[in-house]
Structure 1
Amino acid sequence: MRWEGRTVAARAWVRLPSGKRLDLLNPTPFDWDDRDLALGLARTYRWGGHSAWPLPLSVAQHSLAVLALCRAWAPAPLSPLAELRELLHDADEGLLGFDPLSVIKPFLGQEFRDLTMRLEDAVFQRYGLQRWTAEQKAFHKRADRVAAATEAIHVVGWTRAEVWRVLKIRFQPVEDDPLLPTYGGTAWEPWAPDLAAERFLDELARLKALAT
């Protein structure tokens, strides 16, 4: 990158609500605080921002749902760090402020994949997380894809047949909202951003305290 005759390293700065600044191209684990992350995830929407409800579904609410599914399905209680890893599995999207549809990601190229991996690495370093084993990753992906299949029906408005035939999601959706027992409200209704951020931040703080 050239500027006024000089070659300079590429930068992609964002100013966060805390006042900290994050270079998306060269992130470090110290460039955001927990509230920045919670707000970023609560203001980043799944499904391209489309919804059959008045509000779209945030990545923060999705992350809590995946965690709830993993807790329900785990053959033994998950450790606080394992639960923290589930909660933060999409944290890079909150820092980037972008959750592309899965089928679009290959078209964004290797550079985009490298960018998201650098953000993910910074998240894992900050919160002391270990990479999934193959078995752990498969368990996580099941919860993530079941959440996606369920959101497609109950949040976006796809039919069950369309989820299988059009979206090609080969996982059975669940009937009951996994967040309802904890938070109440209306099943499957997307939360307002401030509420999603508050609930995500509370769970993040709780798990961090347990993991130390």
Structure 2
Amino acid sequence: MAPTKAPDSSRRSDRSRRAIHDAALALVTEVGYRRTTIEGIAARAGVGKQTIYRWWPSKAAVLMDAFLDLAGRAAEDAGAGDTGEPAPGIPDTGDLVADLKLVLRATVDELNDPALEAPTRALTAEGIVDAKLGAAFVHKLLDPQLALYVTRLRAAQEAGDVRADVDPRIALELLIGPLMHRWLLRTLPLTHAYADEIVDYAVGGLAPRT
């Protein structure tokens, strides 16, 4: 008689976590952050409330983890090359303008992606009134991404493509700020052409004066 195989608890936990992530993202998209509840997430995911509270202390923590997982998978899908490995950071081809345009175009695509747009807007809006959630959103998601720009701009400074007196942390805001402003207000389309113009305008002001 063949031995009975024990259930794989880690695989079951992974399935439950993914179901909870998917449920949280779906609910915040459908009803908004404030009307999303732990009870609703549990019911949608087909798990008990106690399962959620065993892994996360709050609704905000669930949604943050769910969004980070979603953003990570989207970045891997967008950055994977022939080897299947995600491309690390911002490329450094030696052409700062081309590298920044490539990354800003990818950001435009992410912001326009329906799967990412609704939870991003929900977290951004709630983070304005919930200081703890806003700080977590910045620390866990935004700061790691912005650090990539700082690294690339510092490399450009060392190569002589950016003035030595430029603060990379402020300079990156010239790139990200206009993009997020247009996305938040939804007054005009967010396009690749607009991303390209931002880079051209910003880098023109960062380049060494001749």
Query: TM-score, with normalisation over the residues of structure 2?
Result: 0.32
Query: Greater helix percent: which structure?
Result: 2
Query: Greater strand percent: which structure?
Result: 1
Higher relative contact order structure (alpha carbons within 8 Å, sequence separation ≥ 6): 1
Mark the structure with the bigger radius of gyration.
2
Query: TM-score, with normalisation over the residues of structure 1?
Result: 0.32
